[in-house]
Amino acid sequence: MINNENEKPPVPEWLLSTNEYSPPRDSGRYVGKSIASLLGVLNKIRRGRTLYASKLSPALCLLGVILLIVLSSASRNMFFTYCLIAMLLLRCCFLPGEMLREIFRAGVAAALFSALILLPAAFMGQPKSMLTVSIKVFYSVSSLSLMSLAIPWNKMTAGLRVFHIPNIFIQTLDLTLKYIYILGEFGYQMMESVKLRSVGRDRSKHTTLSGVLGAVLLRSAEMSKETHDAMICRGFTGEYGKQNHSAEAATGSSGSSHSAAANAAFCAILAAAVILFIYLN
Amino acid sequence: MHIPENYLSPSTCAVMTVAMVPVWVHAVKEVKKEITKDKMPLIGIAAAFSFVGMMFNVPLPGGTTGHAVGGTLAACLLGPNAACISVTIALLIQALLFGDGGILAFGANCFNMAFALPYVGYAVYKLILGKQSQTTLSAGGMQASNKRRLIAAGAGSYAGINAAALLAAIEFGIQPILFTDEAGLPLYCPYGLNISIPSMMIGHLTIFGLAEVVFTVAIYAFVLKASPSLLAGASKASGQKTKAEKPLFALLAILIVATPLGLLAQGTAWGEWGADEISEVVSSGTELGYTPSGMTSGFSFESIMPDYSIGGLPEIAGYILSAVIGVALCVIIFRIISAGMKNKIDFDI
């Protein structure tokens, strides 16, 4: 250090030799695909929030959709199912196309899958049952995906309280749904950074991914503790009270929140469906 | 005019379908160019009108029925290429879900109703309209031009539906000439050109043609009055667009509720008898007396709601339900297509 000018430290041999290293090409498909699928899910969650918000109260909507699905599967008269499908399609006529694509992609895929499963029935002389089941599956899946796209998840969990579901379940569900998004984004960032830093061929990709997953797990444990502390600091007593819910409705009454007219109309439709079901079966 | 399964030989169907492929390709290409993303749902509405129009059966003395198609209407509103696609989708829904028109005969039906009808109708419409359509600035001029547009649309639709009927009659008529079994009996449609052409054309030159004209002119006049912005070439803001669609949806709802009127017409359209009916069909005084063998052993497709009805229920309920489902599907399909399109921005404006 002191007599720096007189004695140069010897340059290591390896620094002087020209480096002929060119990294073997890696297809990178593994990490790339994982990133893409993760992003797809995250996008879906994000888009579902902003595209369209239903004016129905979440609890009523959930109850109604479950009721309609049960009725359609219990019905032995296909006319009833067709009526329900006609109602669903009519509702869908007034929705934006991006949303329709999501809804019917799910519905048609599920219907095709169930048709495939029931294909043997067609060969054993029951082609009608294949059709019936596929149509009912189409109806159930489409209406569920319509609901899940039209009602934001946080509203839905708040609505669950109406059914007297224990607080602990709602809290868990609520936190899970919120953290799917946050942790998903965390995982995505880690994956992206792994991809950017990796040079050459990675022969143990599964360990990479398991490392990422492990990090996400640790992070989630840390975050859950912090969140819980934060919630208690802000006065959370473990109760998902109803006053919470009504206060929100009161503040949001002018804007996008639920409207009485839409709720009444939905109730009327449900009543009509029940009457039709009793009449036809 | 929907040719059912097994009335045409499979080879005829294949030829017609192959003939239809370039038309579809051309129509899709052109529509991609000339129809913007926010105008795409309008094609669905046109398809829905066509679907509903085909449900209004009009009776003709003598026991047959016919209906309007509405292809020229779509052509006048959106251009012949969009009309081709919209009628094709309406026909596809009818064939797959309601058993109206055969699956194998789909190509032939499209050739008649989705290709010949809108293009001929549009050609006549343009011919009559001439160059006047461009000069519509003053209010008085607008009025006069609207009248002229309606006349042109009416004439176009009349020409279009008759062209389609003539083609269908020829397709029916060549079957007994080309395809017979060992005994000399026709395999498929049993009537030659000398019977099929008069039978089809008498109906379409008179009452069914009139029905098409009334349907086209009435709805065209409604569009001109209720939402003229749809006709404007320039693309509008999306808010205005949905406002313009509202009267159309209202009209569709009224038409759907009125569809059971189409059930008043008893009897089957010419050339659309079922395999069980055909041996009893009387033409020029003699009963046919046999069922062509190609019909009994041919391809059969079990549709979900054959003949727009559902077993064990009043016909009216089934008919309205079918109309609702068909119309909603038309609208939804084009909404989804529109969502898949890229936003096109015209930098020339």
Q: Which residue has the higher pLDDT, B338 or B271?
A: B338
List, for residues B237-291, the tens digit of each pLDDT value: 444 555 667 788 888 888 887 877 777 766 666 667 666 666 666 655 556 666 6
Q: Bridge-partner residues for B287, per DSSP? A: B282
The interface predicted TM-score (ipTM) is 0.75
**A79, A101, A135 member nearest B310 (Cβ):** A79
Q: Is A82 in CB contact (< 8 Å) with chain B?
A: yes
- CA dist A204 and A97 (Å) reads 43
* pLDDT value, residue A70: 92
Q: Where do we find the tokens 């879900």?
A: B97
Sequence-separated (6 or more) residues with CB below 8 Å from residue B65? B57, B58, B59, B265, B266, B267, B268, B269
CA distance B102 to B188: 13
In whole angstroms, what separates CA B121 from the centre of its chain? 12
Q: In this structure, what DSSP letter does residue A252 have?
A: T
Name the helix (H) or strand (E) containing B84: helix B80-98
pLDDT value for A251: 44
Q: In whole angstroms, what is the distance from residue B53 CA to residue B72 CA?
A: 12
Instruction: Note the pTM of the prediction, 2 decimals.
Output: 0.75
Label residue B120 by pLDDT band (50, 70, 90).
Answer: very high
| CA proximity to A133, closest of A109, A106, A115 | A115
A97 with B337: Cβ contact below 8 A: yes
- Rounded to an integer, what distance in angstroms lies between the CA atom of residue A136 and that of residue A142? 10
| Beta-strand pair B64-67/B282-283 | unpaired
Which is nearest to B291 in space by CA: B280, B302, B307, B306? B280
- Cβ burial of A124 (10 Å; 0-12, 13-18, 19+) is exposed
Cα–Cα distance for residue pair B89/B282, rounded to 1 Å: 34
What would the pLDDT profile of B148-181 be if each residue is shown by its tens digit?
888 888 999 999 999 998 998 888 888 888 877 7
Which of B305, B317, B335 comes nearest A97 by C-beta? B335
Note the pLDDT of residue B236: 44
pLDDT of residue A187: 80
A96 part of contact set with chain B, CB < 8 Å: yes
Contact B329 A89 (CB under 8 A): yes
Do A90 and B324 lie within an 8 Å CB cutoff? yes
Paired tokens of B135: 């000069």
Instruction: Compare all CA atoms of chain B with the CA of A130 and give the residue at the minimum distance.
Output: B304
- Confidence (pLDDT) at A69: 92
**Residue B322 contacts residue B98 (beta carbons within 8 Å):** yes
Q: What percent of chain B has pLDDT over 70?
A: 73
For position B139, what pLDDT does the model report?
Answer: 43
Predicted local confidence at residue B135, as pLDDT: 46
CA contacts within 13 A on the Cβ side of B129: 20
* pLDDT at residue B349, rounded to an integer: 47
* Cα→Cα distances A203→A192, A197, A210, Å: 18, 15, 14
Beta-ladder partners of B58 = B66
Q: Which residues of B touch A95 (CB under 8 A)?
A: 335
Q: Are B2 and B109 in contact (CB under 8 A)?
A: yes
Question: For residues A113, A69, A100 and B331, what is the CA-based torsion angle, rounded to 10 degrees?
Answer: 100
Q: Does A89 touch chain B (CB under 8 A)?
A: yes
Residue B136 banded pLDDT, cuts 50, 70, 90: very low
Specify the pLDDT at position B86: 92
**Element at B337 (helix H, strand E):** helix B315-340
Pairwise CA distance, residues A102 & B310, whole Å:
29
| Residues of chain B positioned with their CB less than 8 A from the CB of A90 | 324, 328
Give the containing element (helix H, strand E) for B60: strand B57-60
Residues of chain A contacting residue B332, judged by C-beta atoms under 8 Å apart: 89, 92-93, 100, 104
Widest pairwise Cα distance in chain B: 70
Please name which of B161, B171, B168 lies closest in space to residue B119, comparing C-alpha atoms: B161
What DSSP element (H or E) covers A173? helix A167-197
CA closest to B238 among chain A residues: A96
CA nearest to A83 within chain B:
B321
- What pLDDT score does B26 carry? 92
pLDDT of residue B54: 86
Q: Which amino acid is at A41?
A: V
Chain B hits for A127, Cβ within 8 Å = 302
Which tokens in the block code for residue B148?
């002229």
CB B211 within 8 A of CB B68: yes
Span B15-27, average pLDDT: 91
The residue ranges of chain A whose pLDDT is under 70 are: 1-6, 26-31, 43-53, 202, 205, 240-258
